[in-house]
A and B are shown apart, each in its own frame.
Chain A
Amino acid sequence: MSTSKIGEIGMLQLADSFFPTGMYTTSSGLEALFYSDKKKMDVDGLSEIIKVYLKHQIGPADCSALGSAYESIQKKDLQKLIEADNTLFSMKLIEEVRNASVRSGTQILNCISSFILNNDILNKYQNAVRDKRASGIYPVALAVASNTFGIPKYNAGLMMLYGFTVSLIGAALRLGTLRHFDGQRIIHELKPAITEIVEKNIDRPLASMWQFAPSIDILQITHEGMSSKMFIT
């Protein structure tokens, strides 16, 4: 089997919700919307709000950081990789979101380094996380994992946006606002948006990273303060 075929299986492995990242515990603030405005949680409303997350937060920030990190890995530039990590970490405004992203990323590194022992950049990045020079934030850890598994940069971006979309759909299903077939319909209909957002952001330089979704920030802040909730924000 060629390396690229193995990379394709690696992509399935990392994108699988069975891969242990703990992301099923998060709703990215969606649970707060469920309690404040259920009307926005119907099929069309949910599809629209996921697009907002992708276009204004995950695309220009997380996807760009992943792309930049991936380039740094290819150039064996650990400092630039750490810079991508630190920059994205500083842009995650909501503490619970920031912590969850770091915890998911750290666990990806722990998982793959338990069976891939001699990957230089993986080991160096993990040491940087251990020494607290880097946080281990999810998109950067995913870039390291993708490179280790032989997954191309663009595919790594697709995988991350797809995974984020699935985690929001999963949260909506568990909140009981969606039928399971409708969840799949939303994922299907978002495929063009996902590819377009990855194309637009995966080569964005680190200095041009941005995010601007104040309504989502407020949603996440509201969720973070809720005393009774099923999800980590």
Chain B
Amino acid sequence: MSSKRIPRLGIGGPVGSGKTMLIEQVVPRLSSRGYQAGIISNDVVSREDAERMRLNLAKGRGLMSEDLVVGLATGGCPHTAVREDPSMNISVVEEMESMHGDLDLILIESGGDNITTTFSPALADYFIYIIDVSGGDKYPRKRGLGIESCDLLVINKIDIAPYVGADLSVMERDAKAIRGSKPYVFVNCKTGEGTEKVTDHIIRDLLFEAPPKAIAKK
């Protein structure tokens, strides 16, 4: 139904893994390079994530208008909302596409879920799965569709690895073994460490290095 499809980035991961913080790191970096983003946040039980991003990214930093951060309830089924029946998400994406055709990309944050989360290809063109080290360094080894099939695996909270007994070299080895040549990035979303690399992947692999629409128009 939409006039023109805007590239869509799905971000999934367990509760507390840092999905919202990753967005809060990546959107300003994209913006500094001229790329304008809209955000749809699927919350499991509250509007907190959407409201926080609206406050931090829209009101606080003026990086986007407030209506470009939309919170969506999922009826307690976060994985269904982005995979088996993404109807509500697709509707909101299409509304955003028709009202803000000048956006360069739309980020869709899934509700916190388990390691089997994936995005419907009808909803997301590129899929980042984020985990953190606090679950132990066994996480990549446990596989799960999210870890295996995502386009980019992001491993967050590397600063606390020594305190939770997580060996980053083990996580790196297992990520390579499970994912083959598909990329992974270690990050600390608190400080921003590693998130520039995530931004590079998005621009290269989702946007195919197309110039921002605002710049291309000039």
Cβ-defined contact, A20 with B73, below 8 A: no
Cβ-defined contact, B75 with A20, below 8 A: no
Q: How many Å lie between the Cα of A24 and that of B72 in the bound state?
A: 13
Contact of A107 among B47, B74, B76, B87 (CB under 8 A): B87
Cβ-defined contact, B74 with A25, below 8 A: yes
Other than the given A20-B84, A22-B88, A107-B91, 15 more pairs (CB < 8 A) read: A18-B84, A20-B85, A22-B81, A25-B75, A25-B88, A26-B75, A27-B75, A106-B91, A107-B90, A126-B1, A227-B46, A227-B47, A229-B46, A231-B76, A232-B88
Contact of B73 among A21, A25, A110, A170 (CB under 8 A): A25
Cβ-defined contact, B75 with A174, below 8 A: yes
Shortest C-beta distance, A109 to chain B (Å), equals 8
- A contact residues, range: 20 to 34
Q: Which of B76-94 contact A (CB under 8 A)?
A: 76-77, 80-81, 84-88, 90-92, 94
Q: How many Å lie between the Cα of A24 and that of B76 in the bound state?
A: 9
- B contact residues, range: 20 to 34
Given contacts A107-B91, A171-B75, A231-B75, contact A22 B85 (CB under 8 A): yes
Which residues of B pack against A, CB within 8 Å? Answer: 1, 44-48, 72-77, 80-81, 84-88, 90-92, 94
Contact of A232 among B46, B75, B80 (CB under 8 A): B75
Contact of B45 among A107, A110, A130, A229 (CB under 8 A): A229
Cβ-defined contact, A24 with B73, below 8 A: no
Contact of B87 among A103, A126, A227 (CB under 8 A): A103
Q: How many Å lie between the Cα of A24 and that of B88 in the bound state?
A: 10
Shortest C-beta distance, A111 to chain B (Å), equals 8
Which residues of A pack against B, CB within 8 Å? Answer: 18, 20-22, 24-27, 100, 102-104, 106-107, 109-110, 126, 129-130, 170-171, 174, 227-232
* Chain A residue nearest in CB terms to B94: A106
Cβ-defined contact, A25 with B86, below 8 A: no
Cross-chain pairs A/B with CB under 8 angstroms, 26 sampled: A18-B85, A20-B85, A20-B86, A22-B81, A22-B86, A22-B87, A22-B91, A24-B80, A25-B72, A25-B73, A102-B91, A103-B88, A103-B92, A104-B87, A106-B94, A110-B90, A126-B1, A174-B76, A227-B46, A228-B46, A228-B48, A230-B45, A230-B76, A232-B72, A232-B73, A232-B75
Chain A contacts for B94, CB-based, 8 A: 106
